[in-house]
Amino acid sequence: MAVTVVLAMMAVSGMVVVVVTELENKIKDSVKDYVVGKIAEMAGLSKGILKLASGDRKQDAKDAVPLIVEATHGKLGCPEVTSAVIASQIYHESGYNPTIQSPAGARGIAQFMPATWAAHGVDGNGDGRKDYNDPQDAIPSMVAYDCAVAKNTRKVPGDPVKNMLAGYNAGPAAVVRAGGIPNYRETINYVSRITRTADELAALIAAEEPSDARAPSSFGAEVVAQAEKWTTRNLPYLWAGGDKDGPTPRCPGVRRASDPRPSGCPVVRPGDIGPPLPGKGGFDCSGLVLYAVYQARKRFGVTPNAVLPHQTWYQLNDKTGTSVPMDKIKPGDIIFVWPKEHPESRDPGHVVIYAGTVNGKKMIIEAPRTGRDIRKVELSSYDGRRMEARRYG
């Protein structure tokens, strides 16, 4: 009996060692991915802004890169405010001149007005002072202010990044009132300018990223962002709904995204100005996937004209996808889910977008079924099902 107890204890001890070892390896992989991703991000960003900055500002631009990456990934950051967006804003606002002052009184590398600085300036380097002429304070402050604007415009229909930029330029209240980008020439031009440069910088960042299955991906993050923005709008599942431009409205006689739409019943596009249409319709599972992947491809210049088919089996077998082991998935990967009763079926029947982990739990974004809204839930809700992953970046 004593021998049995000892053997049992040794077996349990061995199991604990295995579990701890696996956990340590996962933590090491996560840290490695994070570090590799940030190095790639800084490399791509450096290439871009050093091309943009004038000769006498190249050193200022180079010094700003780690500050931008740290601030956007830190506690002041948010999904809408990427390093490419901040780098673009700084370029267009100040040209990376840390001591410039505009005729209107905007100051420093981030061009804060005194009243805005008083309300939103932060002590980024912990020296006890908030100095708009010090990039170590001004850049984190710009990230914090952008995220404050993004929070106020997050529920407005349309592209959340463009709405944030419009709110930065015209004020969040103007974006809320307009239901999107206000019809002000200055604001429209500002949003266009910033996003165009940000897209160029993001493409350079993506080009620097490793191609292994675990490496962080700006493309994958964009897939997630394009899908996640619809989860806060009570947008329902709609059979055959959605195309590369957005959700299909619920209109008489319209069943598929490709069907002709009656007058006054256009696709609700994320960039449209104005309030959401009545009878807003929605996406089905494969419609949401083809939309999110297409928008990410368009932003990063990855086969921009390639649109995934609107059906799960065809998406699973699309030649632009690469198979990824389920233990190597990363945000933005597409997961196909088979019915519990028919794991051998040719058609998986359902498809979701992997959105990363929250408090250690793997999350997905999906258009689940009729009667349910687009949502973000735990991947474990499909435990016991056959699943396969693809990457379309």
Confidence of residue 215 (pLDDT cuts 50, 70, 90): very low
Whether the predicted pLDDT of 264 surpasses 80:
no
DSSP-derived 3-state class of residue 215: coil
Q: What is the pLDDT of residue 206?
A: 65
Catalytic residue among 93, 209, 222, 366: 93
**How far are the Cα atoms of 100, 111, 120, 214 from residue 115, in angstroms, in the given order?**
17, 12, 9, 44
> Region 80-106: what's the mean pLDDT?
92
Whether the predicted pLDDT of 256 surpasses 60:
no
- How large a percentage of the chain has pLDDT more than 70? 77
Whether the predicted pLDDT of 236 surpasses 70:
yes
Q: What is the pLDDT of residue 50?
A: 81
Q: What would the pLDDT profile of 130-179 be if each residue is shown by its tens digit?
A: 999 999 999 999 999 999 999 999 888 877 889 999 999 999 999 999 98
Name 378's Cβ contacts closer than 8 Å, sequence gap at least 6: 361, 362, 363, 364
CB 295 within 8 A of CB 361: no
Confidence of residue 277 (pLDDT cuts 50, 70, 90): very low
Distance in angstroms (rounded) separating the CA atoms of residues 245 and 224: 16
Domains by residue range for the chain, with CATH: 26-208 (1.10.530.10), 218-391 (3.90.1720.10)
Q: What would the pLDDT profile of 323-339 be if each residue is shown by its tens digit?
A: 999 988 989 999 999 99
Q: Which pTM was predicted?
A: 0.54
> Region 92-107: what's the mean pLDDT?
93
**How far out from the chain centre does Cα 236 lie?**
21
Q: What is the pLDDT of residue 23?
A: 43
Q: What would the pLDDT profile of 13-40 be if each residue is shown by its tens digit?
A: 554 444 444 445 444 444 444 444 566 6
Q: Examine the residue annotation and report whether 93 is marked as an active-site residue of this protein.
A: yes
Mean of the per-residue pLDDT values for the chain? 80
